[in-house]
Structure formats: structure tokens, C-alpha cells
Structure 1
């Protein structure tokens, strides 16, 4: 038997996508990196919004009832409390450390509203594309509380949480609560103490990016500042080094779909004709039928 080890193929930074200030829902202030326009998607990921504020005026109106078709939405709450309701009768409490994974498929109409009236509201919303043969499947909703999101702590103070997929870190395996997704997403949250580093595996046939949201990191001597998405080159490992302050970032990878994308607001299909049909279905009240 050939016992040769797999050759290490380090990822480097292909490009940086700085987040821009944006608003969504009923005026919720956020920072948008992926999906901000131009060449800012990382197949299969369509959009990444980060929201963080201690000012209730920035988030209190929330996200009133609105539709989606053709993709999946993932909300990861760092701090705060959101109430989710949808047309299927689901009602979820998304609290600090929890995750909401919703497959819009053929269509979903839902709302997300803050439960608290003061304090910090901080988290992310990620949009993940669906392949053409899954865009019209039935909608599905999963609510994962913080205690079901596994984490490991390494001797040097590094912590890793796994939201989706499986990963091996320093010989320790982590399996996130979300699995069985066609694009095989891996979604982890990493905290590095100052002046430390971590080697993370990347699935070779995935497209991957790192979103820095606290402190700074370096990848191959290239600094990654807060609110930047660092899109990685193809490879099977990445080394991230923290600076003089604690660094915290998301690492996301997924199997690219490699299909045409036609998008208008909350509808993501393969052709504009399909988008127009989605709009018509929503206006006619048949989006979720």
C-alpha cells in the first residue's frame, strides 16, 4: 500500500473584498462584503452581511415579512435575540451563539424581528446558492441553539466553532450540526489569541474565503483587516496568523455550482425568465404553493 502523505498545497489570497455600509430589511444597518456588486460572489456563496450595533435605532425595526426563492439563508447570531416566523408556521428563537438555516427552495415568506429593545445585536447572514435542480424544492427550516454548535479549545487558547460541515483541527475532529447540503458547506468561527497561528484544512475542490471581524490576521504575509473577505486560491490548507490583538474570523468553503445566476433582490434563479416568474408568483400569492 502506498503510504505517501498528501502533498500540502497552501492557499494564498486571490483577492480581498472590503465590506461596504448598507441597509436591509426595515433599515437595519450592516456591512456587506460578498454580494455588494461586481465580482463579489464566491460560488456557491452569494452574499455575506455582518450586523453589529449597540444602538437599537440601527436594528429595532428588524426584517419584516419578505420572500425568498432559489437559495438558502443562514443567520448566525453572536449576540442578541431574534424571533423568526414564516409561512410554514415555524417560530424560532435565535439567541446568542445560535444558527438559523433556512432552505427557501420554491419559496418562503418569513420575518425576523429583534426580541430585545436595547443591548448589542451582532451576527451574520449568509446566502448560499442552490443548484438548478433544487431551486424549486420544498422550503425547509432548521433552528440550532448555541448548545448544539460544537467547539474545541486548543492549549494555546485558540477556539474553533463548527456551524456546518466537518473539519479536523490539530488532530481533533469537529462536525457541525448542519450537513447533507449539496454544496457541502464548511462554516467555522475561529478565535486566535494575539501572536498565534493556526493551520486549517481546506477541501481541495471547494471555493473558500475568510471573513475577518475582530482584530487583524495575516495570510502569507498579506494582512486582512476587519470587515474584509479574503478569497483564497485553490489548495488544501491555509495558515492564519494573528497580530498584536485577539483575532476572530469566519472560514467558509463550499463546492461550486458553476451555473448561470440571475438575481433580483430576494430571488436567485438561473434565468431572468425564472426570476420574473418568481416575482409574478409572489404578486399572485402562489410563491409558496
Structure 2
């Protein structure tokens, strides 16, 4: 079997994520700030939220996919357009393709607090108005890659020989790594992918340039030649838990307003008109 060399990636940037109190029942921390469309492509924004019932109301989306990862607690989800619903628990993941439009809500049970990450992934122009779709992945069903001192849950894309069956309109790799103190592991990625890491627990060294980072910090991966197979090395200074997201850039114009992300101002205006006229309540 022919193998290709893996070109190591550096870490380009490290930043500390700070939460702010939105209300007595909601603390929000932007990991990827909105507005950096070209830099983060295909990603738009990622938030870390800790909240209770009532923090969010029913709200619409169009033109994106959301990736919701439950760090702790459980959340009930309902979509009034498709009738889809259910409960997501610790370690579960939901890929929601908003496409032409969904109207949904995510809410914890009474008296329960939920800790979760939500990433918005841009949809390509040709799939902006696709049919909505939900993919719920239970923690116990996620394929796992085992290395010496490391466990990698592959929610989307691949890690080594382990491949997820998650469907994506934009190729996206999402893995959760749990690494024992002193252990090292390398995550392979296409050279064309943009990507980042967010540390949930512990500390470590990251990339070929051995950047030090710890819990509550995010790291943006440096680029390599698009045609290369790349790898990002992680070494745990202490027991380490992190999430890594990487994806293929779209290189398309982005016009975002509120919960809608399209390619033109006219499409945003149409999205708001459709929402006001109740189109998001209907399924084709």
C-alpha cells in the first residue's frame, strides 16, 4: 500500500476565550467571533454556552449547518417545520442542516443547566436552499480511534483509519480527544482544510512549533499546501481533553444577518420575508 508523507502543521494563533453573563440563566463565550468570514471559512461562528430553560426562545435559521455538542447536561430539541425532536445528552452531537429554513428551539429540562458548544458551518451556494436535515449522534455510537494513551471520538470526517458516516455538504472533520498526561497523538487533515482546537480540560503542547496552551484557550492551525496531507501533533502536559474542527473553505461571498447566512443582500431580504410570511413553518 502506497503511503503519503504527512506534513506537520504549526499553530498560527492562540487566544483565551472569555464568557460574559447574558442573563441570570445564560453565560456565553464566543470561541469564533462573527465577522471573520474569510479567515474562518467554512466556519462562521462558534459559541460556548452554559444556560437553563428560558435562555433561548423559538428561532429560525437559513443557509447554514449547526453543530451542537453537549459537554454536560441534556437538552430537548424540537423543530416546528419538520416535526423532528428528541433529547441530546452528554457527549451527544447534532448536525442540523437548516437549508431553506427551520424554526426550532433547544431547551434544558426544568432546573437543569446545560454546557454545550455550537458551531455554525456555512453552506455552499448550491445547497443554501436544500431541504432541512437532522443527524443526531449518540456518544455510545460514535466511532473511536484508540492510540497509546489517547482516545479519539470521530464525530465527523476521519482520524487515522477511523471514519465517521456523518453526512456533510461541506467536508468537516470534528474529533474529541482525551489524552493521558505525557502521551502524544497526531490528527491527520487534508492540507486544504482550515481548522482550530478548543481545550476543554488540562494543558499541552500543540503543533510542530510546540505551542503551550491550556483549558479555556483556542488555537488556530497554520496553513500548508492544499495538495498535501497534513497532521497536527498534540502532546498532553497533564490529562487533556479537547475538540478539533477542520473543514474545506468555500471561498464564496458571505452576507449574514441575525440567524440567516446567504451570499447576497437580496437573499437575506428574502429570508426575512419568508420568515415573516410563515414559510419556515411549512415543509415541502
Which TM class, normalised by the smaller chain length?
0.7 to 0.9
- Give the secondary-structure state (helix, strand or coil) at the position aligned to 2:196: strand
CA distance in 1, matches of 2:55, 2:196: 27
CA distance in 2, matches of 1:27, 1:265: 22
Deviation at residue 75 of structure 1 after TM alignment: 0.8
**Which runs of no fewer than 5 residues in structure 2 stay unpaired?**
225-229
- Give the secondary-structure state (helix, strand or coil) at the position aligned to 1:100: strand
- Match 1:166 to one of 149, 158, 174: 158
CA distance in 2, matches of 1:25, 1:255: 36
State the TM-score, normalized to the length of structure 2. 0.88
- Give the secondary-structure state (helix, strand or coil) at the position aligned to 1:20: coil
**Which runs of no fewer than 5 residues in structure 1 stay unpaired?**
53-57
Hey, what does 2:186 align to over in structure 1?
Answer: 199
The yes-or-no answer on 1:218 pairing with 2:218 is: no
CA distance in 2, matches of 1:130, 1:100: 16
Shift of the 267–37 alpha-carbon distance from structure 1 to 2, 3 Å rule, reads: same
Superimposed CA distance per residue, residues 23-78 of structure 1 (whole angstroms, 9 cap, x where no aligned partner):
679963121111344578521111111234xxxxx423242210000000111112
Hey, what does 2:95 align to over in structure 1?
Answer: 101
Hey, what does 2:177 align to over in structure 1?
Answer: 190
Hey, what does 1:250 align to over in structure 2?
Answer: 243
CA distance in 2, matches of 1:214, 1:131: 34
- Match 2:233 to one of 231, 239, 251: 239
CA distance in 1, matches of 2:63, 2:24: 23
CA distance in 2, matches of 1:64, 1:26: 15
Could you say what the CA RMSD is over the residues aligned between the two structures, in angstroms?
2.3
Q: How does 1:114-129 map to 2 (within 5 A)?
A: 114-115=108-109, 117-118=111-112, 121-129=114-122
- Give the secondary-structure state (helix, strand or coil) at the position aligned to 2:182: coil
Hey, what does 2:227 align to over in structure 1?
Answer: none
Hey, what does 1:176 align to over in structure 2?
Answer: 164
Shift of the 248–62 alpha-carbon distance from structure 1 to 2, 3 Å rule, reads: same
Deviation at residue 107 of structure 1 after TM alignment: 0.4
Hey, what does 2:43 align to over in structure 1?
Answer: 45
